[in-house]
């Protein structure tokens, strides 16, 4: 029996998912700008947000949006040993860098769409500092929280950001050892890795409690047949299940689950 309060929206293709979510984000950004407010968008990197970001750039151009009030918060980043007993973020030039993803796949196309003097710069992109992970919670508070957190789910283990199975409900921004299942998923997300042994073993990530505590609205997107198992777990969750961290969306304020037909394949309503 489905006891979740989430009723998924099922659309035919990943492109339809991207258009649906991007239009919603653009409308919210536009409304904030017209009020003279900032708008804080939380975002993952990788395959899941790609259709949304592609369509968001089109929405910016069509709506003639001014993005100077937009702030982007990235969920996580790969880290490597810094040689002094701590960790440092990977080089943004690396294809798997989340900061690099933000600059290449979010800032650059949105700025092209917005036009000169109406875009956002690197200072409007926020990501946790491996030297002081807990300070990110204060950053999010100063930003006024996250107006819309775009979420994605791991295919094999339901990780959200880098939170592995077993993550506590009240977990906060921290450096963690990445689950082997998460690292295996990331070989598919970033083909340049080539093999599992090239995927970093650690990352810095917002926690489950960070997502719950700082987001006003959460939109989880999933597309492709490899996400069908995870979607089934999320839709049938009555609340947060630490064995499948992506179920956090069920407890978020104003949650949505937007799927393509392939990701919804296991759901009775998709048949």
Q: What is the pLDDT of residue 268?
A: 82
The 3-class secondary structure across 14-34, one letter per residue, is HHHHHHHHHHHHHHHHHHHHH
- The helix (run of H) or strand (run of E) holding residue 63 is helix 50-63
Residue 26 in any domain: the answer is: yes
Residue 4 in any domain: the answer is: no
Greatest CA separation found in the chain? Answer: 55
Among 62, 33, 56, smallest CA distance to 147 is for 33
Q: What is the pLDDT of residue 163?
A: 97
Range of the domain at 242: 9-265
Q: What is the pLDDT of residue 186?
A: 85
Confidence of residue 190 (pLDDT cuts 50, 70, 90): confident
Residue 257 in any domain: the answer is: yes
Residue 271 in any domain: the answer is: no
Residue 104 in any domain: the answer is: yes
Average pLDDT, the chain: 95
- The helix (run of H) or strand (run of E) holding residue 54 is helix 50-63
Residue 238 in any domain: the answer is: yes
Confidence of residue 242 (pLDDT cuts 50, 70, 90): very high
pLDDT at 215 over 80: yes
Q: What is the pLDDT of residue 1?
A: 42
Q: What angle is formed at CA 104 by the lines to CA 78 and CA 12, rounded to 5 degrees?
A: 95
The CATH number covering residue 191 comes to: 3.40.50.1360
Tell me if 49 sits within 8 A of 152, measured CB to CB. yes
pLDDT tens column, 62-102: 999 999 999 999 999 999 999 999 999 999 999 999 999 99
Residue 2 in any domain: the answer is: no
pLDDT tens column, 13-25: 999 999 999 999 9
Tallying the residues shown for the chain, one arrives at 271
Q: What is the pLDDT of residue 2?
A: 47
pLDDT at 224 over 50: yes
């Amino acid at each position: 029996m489905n006891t979740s309060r989430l009723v998924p929206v099922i659309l035919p293709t990943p492109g339809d998912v991207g258009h649906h979510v991007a239009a919603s984000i653009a409308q919210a950004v536009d409304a904030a700008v017209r009020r003279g407010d900032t708008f804080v968008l939380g975002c993952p990197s990788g395959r899941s947000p790609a259709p949304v970001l592609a369509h968001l750039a089109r929405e910016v151009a069509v709506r003639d949006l001014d993005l100077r009030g937009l702030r982007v918060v990235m969920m996580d980043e790969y880290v490597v040993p810094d040689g002094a007993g701590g960790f440092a973020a990977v080089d943004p030039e690396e294809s798997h860098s989340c900061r690099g993803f933000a600059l290449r796949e979010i800032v650059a196309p949105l700025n092209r769409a917005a036009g000169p003097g109406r875009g956002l710069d690197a200072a409007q992109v926020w990501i946790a500092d491996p030297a002081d992970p807990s300070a990110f919670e204060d950053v999010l508070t100063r930003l006024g929280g996250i107006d819309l957190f775009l979420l994605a789910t791991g295919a094999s283990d339901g990780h959200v950001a880098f939170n592995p199975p077993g993550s506590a409900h009240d977990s906060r921004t921290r450096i963690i050892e990445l689950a082997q299942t998460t690292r295996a998923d990331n070989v598919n997300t970033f083909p340049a890795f080539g093999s599992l042994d090239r995927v970093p073993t650690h990352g810095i990530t917002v926690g489950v409690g960070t997502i719950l505590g700082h987001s006003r609205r959460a939109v989880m997107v999933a597309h492709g047949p490899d996400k069908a198992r995870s979607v089934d777990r999320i839709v049938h969750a009555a609340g947060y299940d630490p064995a499948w961290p992506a179920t956090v969306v069920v407890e978020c304020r104003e949650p949505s689950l937007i799927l393509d037909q392939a990701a919804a394949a296991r759901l009775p309503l998709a048949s």
